[in-house]
Amino acid sequence: MASEKSIVNNIIKRLRQLPQCYAIKNHGSMYSTAGTPDILCVKDGRAYLLEVKQPGKKATMIQEQEMCKWRGAKATSCVVTSVQEALEEVLA
């Protein structure tokens, strides 16, 4: 099974290949908000915040709460486990 880090790197690499798309890895630190999703992405003026997990793993309660706040601001925020799932969200 691929590591979460490799899934994140592969997703970012693929998203950056899309036209009008920019994606970065959120590196959590003591200065960042706990639970902020792993990938911050903007495509065609729309915000996507993607929490990356290995297949079968779930987001923590604080991650779910943070994603809910982003959805409340009209961003797309969800859990993805692969490049394909990330593309399905961003290209929907």
Per residue in 3-41, pLDDT (tens digit) is 999 999 999 999 999 999 999 999 988 888 999 999 999
* Number of structural domains found in the chain: 1
For residues 23 and 41, the answer to whether their CB atoms sit within 8 Å is: yes
Q: Which residue type is seen at 91? A: L
Q: In terms of residue numbers, what domain contains 74? A: 4-90
- Cα separation of the two ends of the chain: 27
For residue 56, give the CATH number of its domain: 3.40.1350.10
Per residue in 50-60, pLDDT (tens digit) is 999 999 999 99
Q: What pLDDT, on the 0 to 100 scale, is given for residue 57?
A: 96
Q: What is the pTM of this model?
A: 0.94
